[in-house]
Structure 1
Amino acid sequence: MTNQLVNRRKFLGQSALLGSVAAAGTLAAPAIATAAGETTTWRVQTSWPGGIGLDFFKAWCASIKEKTSGELAFTPFGANDVVGDFQLYDAVKNGVLEAINPYTIYAQGIIPAAVFLSSYPLGLRNPAEYDTFYYGLGGLEITRELYAKQGMYYVGPIQHDANIIHSKVPIRSIDDFRGRKMRLPGGMVAEVFQKLGAKTTVLPGSEIFPALEKGTIDVADYVGPAVNYSLGFSQVTNYISMGPPGFMSLYQPVDLMDLTVGMDAWNKLPDKLKQFVEMEVHTYSDLHYAAIQKADQEAWPKFEADGTEVTRLTQDDVALMTEIAVPIWFDWANKDKDAARIFKIQLDYMTSGSLGYVDPVLLEGLELTAL
């Protein structure tokens, strides 16, 4: 793949959407002066298959060389460019890629506790709550510990959006999921929908459109409206199902991504570059989230023009789905000691005066036996 690094003038001269946000990112992180005059180049593959997510990722990667005065460069790859989404962790551990930008939920295949490292049905419900978990309640330290056991360094979470559901048929209550062939990311999310009667399957993002087009599935979750519109979902579905007003998604309201680096590549960086990458990821998370939210506002009229109808579940559906979800939380937490200690932090937060998401009655008879 050709070198996609660009200088600052080109980077800031991109589209108005990317340019304004990228400019803020450039100002947020000071350049690091190079001493040796050599560039360390990381091959970084994202899970974004297209749209604003991929565009913004590539623009960010293109900015790294100048921000570090030539010491570090990121060569970006989109979903499936080097390996498939579900091979990303093997690729970074084996040195095929130096770093990856996956959906964090995909890590559950090698780290059972990862089911709690991104949002799960009716759990923490807002981006700030996950930032609090990672940066305020010890989540980052635990996550890095678990990734280190797998030969990887977890740099930090990257916010982007809630997940929404596209369907060929209207979903007006949780009863309407019964019998539907539904794409989900697996894990706890799939189990909750199985309890609702859905027939679930796991597919990477790049395979959702053809599966909907062929009728292999008739309902699919994926990320937010801007990216999903760019991927053509309005061409193969007629409906979008969301939570009640103010609650885009009941099942994955905060679908985190992250930057994960192979431990060998990470250890070769000098301390000043390690600090830069950690700070840069935190900044990128904020700007990435804001850019995608802006693009979402531009996508909704396009869905409407294509004839897509938005349906919303009710507060009663929230209550019923919470009753289903809470025992499943405990089942998954008790499969693994690390999952239990992560979930305990989140449960204490959810039941605190700050949030109050969980009625104590729903916790009666449930224990964290894996601690």
Structure 2
Amino acid sequence: MSDKTEQPLAAPEKQTQDPERRRFLKSSVAAAGGAAILGAPWIRDAKAAQTTTWKVQTSWPGGIGLDTFKAWCNSIIEKTGGELAFQPFGAKDVVGEFQLFDAVKNGVLDAMNPFTIYWAGRMPASVFLTSYPMGLRYPHEWDVFYYALGGLELARELFAKFDMHYVGPIHHGPNIIHSKVPIRSIDDFRGRKMRLPGGMVAELFQAAGAKTTLLPGSEIFPALEKGTIDVADYVGPAINYALGFHQVTKYISMGPPGFMSIYQPVDLMDLTVGKKSWNALSDSMKQFVEMEVHVYSDLHHAAIQKADQEAWAKFTEAGTEVTRLTQDDVDAFTELAVPLWFKWANKDPDAARVFKIQLDYMMSGSLGYVTPDMVEGHSLNV
């Protein structure tokens, strides 16, 4: 990835902190409906002498995402009868968001719940472990990739090279774009200073003429407020409203109806654990954690979608205008995206292996997103 994409802008010196936003950034388990997440308790092994506690940090800076994460973590000790506990930390509580990878690898944290795309710079294949421009478009398609087509085994193989165990993907929803100016076509991105998560997504918008920068979610509001950026991608409406984006932008840009986000329609997170911490668990407890990630992914996704429905009315009340791209814009972005697919897939053999599975799936009769003429002249180094 180019330095232009990787280098964050300087953080603003000062920012407005209204009471609602402060409460959001310090939000805890109370609002998450923790009782619904508890579920049936795990029957503890009588031989287990003491509780094993994992320090787990998420990328969520607050709101329903952080609340749901904390509620889930706090449910683990009861479900395991005290054998295993998760101590939850929000974004930047222990380390910075972009330091999570090394913190787990080196044992500072036992596990992380990050946005998987953050590791594009050090692991090109990670670009294809979460949604990317014009790729797989719906959560169930990613479940098919991971749990039926070999994606989970590949992800675990890749993270094992860094002494980590990839437990599984976690759904939350599509990303949307907030801006100070209306974005009604691909041409409106030209010249805009835009926050993006890096990797292929950043390169797509660079190809469309945007000037991109990489910022963690907790730094987007102050950058928009100060005017360091005038367009920002982040997650869905509930989190973004709670972060105060309606206070510093006037517009939300999305894809055509039914295609909410053309660049990250299923922005996956994951649970990844340090090898030492994972290997210390019994086989039965490993199986429990793996199944819990399935449960958490479903609950996490549903809780955020519910909150999103409530947030749309709040944006309307705040005077935010929603604009949508057209099918012509989708076609234009697709033309830019296809060469980037192959560029990133050919960065290393692992990336090519992952993408090949997805490309075959997208070209199959089940989906048909990609036709032979779209990829003519491109090849994979597998």
**Shorter-chain TM-score category?**
over 0.9
The answer to whether the Cα contact below 8 Å between 1:194 and 1:200 also exists between their aligned partners in 2 is yes
Structure 2 alignment gaps of length 5 or more: 1-28
Q: Displacement of 1:87 after TM fit?
A: 0.4
Tell me which of 152, 158, 178 is aligned to 2:170. 158
Match for 1:333 among 317, 321, 345? 345
The percentage of aligned residue pairs carrying the same residue is: 76
Aligned to 1:299: 311
The 5 A counterparts of 1:81-120 are 81-120=93-132
Pair 1:201 & 2:209 matched: no
Is 1:33 aligned to residue 44 of structure 2? yes
- Give the distance between the partners of 1:256 and 1:224, measured in 2 at CA: 12
Deviation of residue 102 (structure 1)? 0.4
- Aligned residue among 305, 316, 322 for 2:334: 322
Amino acid at match of 2:44: A
Q: State how 1:206-225 maps to structure 2 within 5 Å.
A: 206-225=218-237
- Pairing 1:184–2:196 present: yes
Asked if 2 retains the 8 angstrom alpha-carbon contact of 1:226 and 1:295, the reply is yes
TM-score, scaled relative to structure 2: 0.91
Q: Deviations over 1:139-192 (max 9, x none)?
A: 000000000000100000000011100000000001100000000011110111
Q: How far does residue 60 in structure 1 lie from its aligned partner after superposition?
A: 0.6
Say whether the 8 Å CA contact 1:37–1:70 is kept in structure 2: no
Query: In 1, distance between residues paired with 2:43 and 2:109?
Result: 24
2:142 aligned partner: 130
Say if 1:34 and 1:70, in contact at 8 Å, map to a contact too. no
Unaligned 5+ segments in structure 1 are 1-12
Q: SS where residue 120 of structure 2 aligns?
A: helix
Q: Does 1:58 align with 2:70?
A: yes
Of 82, 99, 104 in structure 2, the residue corresponding to residue 70 of structure 1 is 82
Q: Any idea what SS the aligned residue of 2:333 has?
A: helix
Q: TM-score, normalised by structure 1?
A: 0.93
Runs of 4+ in 1 over 4 A off after TM superposition: none
Cα offset, 1:23, TM superposition? 4.1
**1:320, distance to aligned residue in structure 2 (A):** 1.2
Question: 1:218, 1:129 → 2: CA distance?
Answer: 33
**Residue in 1 aligned with 2:243?**
231
Distance (whole Å) between structure 2 residues aligned to residue 224 and residue 130 of structure 1: 18
Letter in 2 for 1:219: V
The amino acid that maps onto 1:58 is K
SS state of the match for residue 109, structure 1?
coil
- The reply on whether 1:255 has 2:282 as its aligned counterpart is no
| 1:50-102 CA distance string (max 9 Å, x none) | 11000110111110000000000011000000000010011111111101100
Supply the RMSD in Å over aligned alpha carbons.
Answer: 1.2
| 1:356-367 mapped onto 2 (5 Å cutoff) | 356-367=368-379
Q: Distance in 2 between matches of 1:264 and 1:109?
A: 25
Q: Name which of 127, 135, 139 aligns with 2:151.
A: 139
Shift of 1:248: 0.9
* Matched residue, 2:92: 80
